[in-house]
Chains A and B, each alone.
Chain A
Amino acid sequence: MTKRIDRRAIVRALIVFVVAALAVFAVSTIGSTAMADTPDAATAVAQTSAIHADAETTEAEVTVDDTAADAPGTNRIAQNVFNGLVFGLLLALASVGLSLIYGTTGLSNFAHGEQVSLGAMLAYFFATQQPVSLPLLPWEFVIGWPLWLAAIAAIVVAGGTGWLQDRFLWSKLRKRGVKMVQQMIVSIGLSLALLNLLQWWIGPDRLRVSIAIEERRQVGPIQLGDTTAVSIAISIAVLLAVAYFLLRTRLGRATRAVSDNPALAAASGIKVDAIIRLVWIMAASLAALGGILMALYDSGTKFDVGAKLLLLMFAAVTLGGLGQPFGALVGSLVIGVVVETSTLWLGPDLKYATALAILILVLLVRPQGILGRAERVG
């Protein structure tokens, strides 16, 4: 069952990828002719890169691109594809959770982006040498734990927020039979509240979780730093663990059963509520891990980092087939690669727009595929 659906998800993703690439190519052709027409194209470009340095979406990538361009023997396309794969892996950590929540409860959780930010903020909170404080408390203190300890603590606390949410909010709403649409708006409220809470708590500035400066080495046609390598290793390991859990363990099979048909799962003795609780904890922890690794990879983070990623996650999850955790992984990789390679043609400030265009395109190309089984009328 799972295998068949996953293959379909991959095929679907590939089709859309090709179409999206063509679309990007078409737009870039139009864009470049427009550029050539402008007499002050050169100044425009210069201006562009100057503004990129502080444009909110691009900070880290610009540095990567610059070094890539400078170093001899580095293939820009290969580098971008590689960056995209890394970004996709990190995105997958977050979107697998989003997909699991959707699969088991039917909720499109708009607050999932804040779970990612929360992970990064907590890691900063535990690791930084700067004095930190808690909202509405007058004391300032320094925790300054080593990075690995801070990361673990952050993931544990974030997982705890997943438990708290389900225990005191979502399970109650499910019990009251609150409609999905209403629950979705509740998640929007939660997202708004958490986003501002994080800003209030940590502040609006860009932060560095680790102050170590990453050294980059030449590996074939690409450049690779130690932190990035470790991030890749961790995320692959964790994703494999999630896959193992879902495919090989009793609990994981139960989770998939709940995803397929909650009523049937409940009838066959699976404790649906306990499974959903577990899914929330997992999703929150995975999102936090994604946020931390993303902060390291981008060498900086901000209170709204997850809010920016939310729509990319939705794009990835939709691309892979809603509620399919493995689809979310494939979707994330595709989104990651598209987002990064699009910067070769379009300005970096449009890379998220590309991903959103894909999201809309998917819904255009295969709405029935995304809808899954056709709903019965009457």
Chain B
Amino acid sequence: MDLIYDILREAIAPTTAAFALAAIGLNFHFGLTGLLNMGQAGFMLLGMYGYAITVREGGPIWLGVIVAIACAAVFGLILGWPTLKLRGDYLAIVTIAAAEMIRYLGRSQNLNDLTGASTGIRGNDFKGSFEMLSPFPDSQVTFLVWTFHGTRSTSWWLLVVGWTLVALMLLMYWRLSKSPWGRVLKGIREDEDAVRSLGKNVYSYKMQALVIGGVIGALAGIIWALGASVQPDSMGRPTTFWIWTLLLLGGAATIFGPVLGSILFWGSLVAVKGLASLLIPETLLNTQELEPFSLTLVGITLMCLVIFRPQGILGDKKELAFND
């Protein structure tokens, strides 16, 4: 019973919303445009730093959000400038390298005053002004089966904001992917030379997609940071790979794929850990080993998904017929 409660709790947690957001961003990159961005965690980390540092230094929330968005947009522009003309797998290597650079810089002692180096920025340093705005009571609140604190950290307030943001971004994805703009991006995903021959500036469209997806990633970073803290090492390569896994799980290029994927991913991670600790005796798999055990399964899931069901749960089976 506890396990089911844990799963339900995880299914709506701010982390889940943050990953759904990051995956929506990645959906703009990969699902719509076919860009292999392997550095989504870098965009998230920039968003976190941008918001947390601005607010810590006394800036208002709106300024923090703008700084976060601006950081991600500039990062996207710098990253896209040399790489969007290169073949897909080079973009993958450059984005992953750039994201790691952001992390190394963030945890560098040289920037200790700004980023707090490898310890990061404590939640109390930047969460205050956001939590002040909470319309919920400053205590535990139970709604249906869920109990969360009203305002602090993993709170109802953050849940409402996070999922509202998810809904808004879904709406945006839906509107844009069904527009002529989205049509050009899909064309690029299929064959950029064809789109070029039809008179569209492919480079500019790829850049737009990279920046939009990255900015959504930065928003995801803010939601994550407000639920936890800013910690550079939590935004390493594995985080990007998880986002990829959950996007492919839900279904790339579908509207609800990222959200479904995120809920399933985090829900089943809790489920696997819970079931494993129930069913496998402590002597075989102690609590310390649960985490790597379940993440091993994540890796295997990613492999199986790509091999056997690349269109994910919500994807169109027909699209598989021509994998050329």
Direct contact of A and B (CB under 8 A): yes
Contacts from A to B (Cβ < 8 Å): 31, 34, 38, 44, 47-48, 51, 55, 108, 135-138, 173, 177-182, 184-186, 188-197, 199-200, 203-204, 307, 311, 314-315, 318, 346-347, 349-350, 352-353, 356-357, 359-360, 363-364, 367, 370-371, 377-378
Which one of B3-11, B220-228, B282-290 contacts A?
A: B282-290
Assess the B296–A193 pair: CB atoms within 8 A.
yes
The digit string for B176-192, where 1 denotes a CB below 8 A from any CB of A, is: 00000000000000000
| Interchain CB contact under 8 A, B296 and A185 | no
User: Does B90 touch A at the CB level, under 8 Å?
Assistant: yes
Closest 6 CB pairs of A and B: A193-B299, A189-B302, A192-B299, A189-B303, A200-B292, A353-B104
Chain B: residues with Cβ within 8 Å of the partner, total of 59
Contact of B317 with A by CB under 8 A: no
Q: How far is the CB of A91 from chain B (nearest CB, A)?
A: 15
Stretch of B19-27, B106-114, B258-266 lying at the A interface? B106-114
B306 in contact with A185 (CB, 8 Å) = yes
- Cβ contact within 8 Å between A318 and B93: yes
Cβ contacts under 8 Å, A51 to chain B: 109, 117-118
Q: What's the minimum C-beta distance from B206 to chain A, rounded to whole angstroms?
A: 15
Write the nearest CB–CB distance from B240 to chain A, whole angstroms.
9
Closest to B285 in A: A136
Q: Is the interface of B mostly helix, strand, loop or mixed?
A: helix
- B87 / chain A contacts, CB cutoff of 8 Å: 371
Inter-chain contact B98/A349, CB cutoff 8 Å: no
Enumerate 10 A-B pairs (CB-CB under 8 Å) in ascending A order: A31-B110, A38-B113, A47-B109, A185-B306, A189-B241, A189-B301, A189-B302, A199-B292, A347-B109, A378-B193
Question: Knowing A311-B97, A360-B94, A363-B90 touch, does A189 contact B238 (C-beta < 8 A)?
Answer: no
Among B51-59, B78-86, B125-133, the stretch that binds chain A is B78-86
Closest Cβ neighbor of A136 among chain B residues: B284
Complexed CA–CA distance, A360 and B91 (Å)? 10
Would you list which residues of chain B between 268 and 324 have a CB under 8 Å from chain A? 280, 283-285, 288-289, 291-293, 295-307, 310, 323
Q: Is the CB of B295 within 8 A of A353?
A: no
B109 & A181 in contact (Cβ 8 Å cutoff): no
Given the contacts A360-B94, A363-B83, A188 and B293 also touching, CB distance less than 8 Å: no
Closest to A179 in B: B323
B284, B298, B307: which contacts A192 (Cβ < 8 A)? B298
Bound complex: CA of A34 vs CA of B82, how far in Å? 29
Instruction: Report the Cα distance A173→B110, complex, angstroms.
Output: 45
CA separation between A311 and B292, bound complex, in Å? 22
* A203 vs B248: C-alpha distance when bound (angstroms): 29
Q: State the CA gap A279–B302 with chains docked (Å).
A: 25
B245 within 8 Å of A (CB atoms)? yes
State the Cβ distance, B303 to closest chain A Cβ, in Å. Answer: 4
Query: Whole-angstrom distance from the CB of A225 to the nearest CB of chain B?
Result: 28
Which residue in chain A gives the minimum CB-CB distance to B301?
A: A189
What CA separation (Å) do A370 and B93 show in the bound complex? 13
Q: How far is the CB of B109 from chain A (nearest CB, A)?
A: 4
Chain A residues with CB under 8 Å of B293's CB are 135, 196, 200
Which residues of A sit under 8 angstroms from B89, Cβ to Cβ?
Answer: 108, 180-181, 184
Judged by a CB distance under 8 angstroms, whether B105 is at the interface is yes
Partner of B100, one of A34, A195, A356: A356
**Inter-subunit contact A360/B110 (CB<8 Å):** no
CB atoms of B93 and A189 under 8 A apart? no
Q: Given A193-B299, A314-B93, are A357 and B101 also a contact pair (CB < 8 Å)? A: yes
